[in-house]
Amino acid sequence: MVPFGYVARRYVRNVETNTVYHVVPGAKALTFGMYGCDLRCPYCHNWKLSQALRDGDAAVGATPPIPMTPAALVDEAVSAGCRVMCAAYNEPMIAAEWVRAVFGEARARGLFTMIVSDGNTTPEALAFVRPVTDVYRVDLKGFSSEQYKALGGRIEPVLAAIAEARRLGFWVEVVTLVVPGFNDDPAGLRALAKKLLAIDPAIPWHLNAFQPRYKMRDRPPMHPELLVSIAGAALARGMKHVYVGNVTGMFGELEHTRCPKCHFTLVERRNYQTTAVRLDGSSCPACREPVAGLFTERA
């Protein structure tokens, strides 16, 4: 069955819960997902959806598909006061036609649109969704072929998709979930920063700490210290916005957006919630430095 005309799940939550920080901070987003994924990450947060077609355990207690039209889904978003429509949870690019149909309707009603993807896609698919999509948020899951092989993919198409998405004019943010014993080699993470820097230093890079789940319940959570050190190195090399997520306490400071020039705190966050926005339009109110992102109306 071609995946079209249904959702498996949808929620209205703050846009930041999709780990997207430079798009209308604090706005509500309707995020929807379907079933299936081209990868098989053993730490998948949404494995009951993403692995529904290949892991028998995922089918236990699974919710059935909910028939949906683009207009009905966008009606829900507008009635709930959302400014953003987001495709996530499973891999949206395997249902690019359905996502494009929903986003066409969403854009016509004035919503921002975003895809949360594993980046294992093609230039053709990116070009296909671009006319109705504002944001391409990519998970960059490792730095080696072996790591990607373990997840069922390859790193090259992901790096190429990040570069192509920027070239096509999507707003791009990148997330790397750092997993102990899997991709926590500092040299490898620093090499990833170098690759992102070469694509665009303004791409926000989110270093998220692993939490035990799915087939990796026996691993310890990721300690924040390594992430802080990698973030510091990436900022020193010239990346403008590096965040550390899934951590608490003093490390929570690394959830805030700071001006890349004068370091004024522009957006404060706590646990994926925006608590203060001090931007003047898209600029720093202290030094007038423009800050990259979609902070105001699309125009």
Cα 45 from Cα 62, distance rounded (Å): 15
Q: Toward ligand SF4, which CB reaches closer, 40 or 237?
A: 40
Cα 243 from Cα 246, distance rounded (Å): 10
Q: Which of 18, 19, 46, 208 binds ligand SF4 (CB under 6 A)?
A: 46
Q: Does 85 bind ligand SF4 (CB under 6 A)?
A: no
Q: Does 155 bind ligand SF4 (CB under 6 A)?
A: no
Cα angle 79-281-165, degrees, rounded to a multiple of 5? 75
Closest approach, Cβ 177 to ligand SF4, in A, equals 8
Q: Which of 16, 91, 134, 173 binds ligand SF4 (CB under 6 A)?
A: 91
Closest alpha carbon to 185 in 216, 148, 230, 154: 230
Phi, psi of 91 (to 5 degrees): -100, 105
Q: Which of 8, 20, 34, 41 binds ligand SF4 (CB under 6 A)?
A: 41
Closest approach, Cβ 118 to ligand SF4, in A, equals 4
Closest approach, Cβ 39 to ligand SF4, in A, equals 4
Site for ligand SF4 in 127-146 (CB under 6 A): 139
Q: Which amino acid is at 191?
A: A
Beta strands in 101-195 (DSSP E): 112-117, 135-139, 171-178
CA–centroid distance for 9 within its chain: 17
Q: Which of 29, 37, 209, 227 binds ligand SF4 (CB under 6 A)?
A: 37
Site for ligand SF4 in 96-125 (CB under 6 A): 118
Residue 246's region, left for phi above 0, alpha for psi from -120 to 50, else beta, is left
Closest approach, Cβ 200 to ligand SF4, in A, equals 23
Largest CA distance in the chain: 56
- Token output for 162: 């990040």
Q: Toward ligand SF4, which CB reaches closer, 51 or 257?
A: 51
Q: Does 39 bind ligand SF4 (CB under 6 A)?
A: yes
Q: Toward ligand SF4, which CB reaches closer, 89 or 171?
A: 89
Closest alpha carbon to 151 in 166, 165, 141, 136: 141
The residues that touch ligand SF4, with contacts defined as CB under 6 A, are 37, 39-41, 44, 46, 50, 90-91, 118, 139
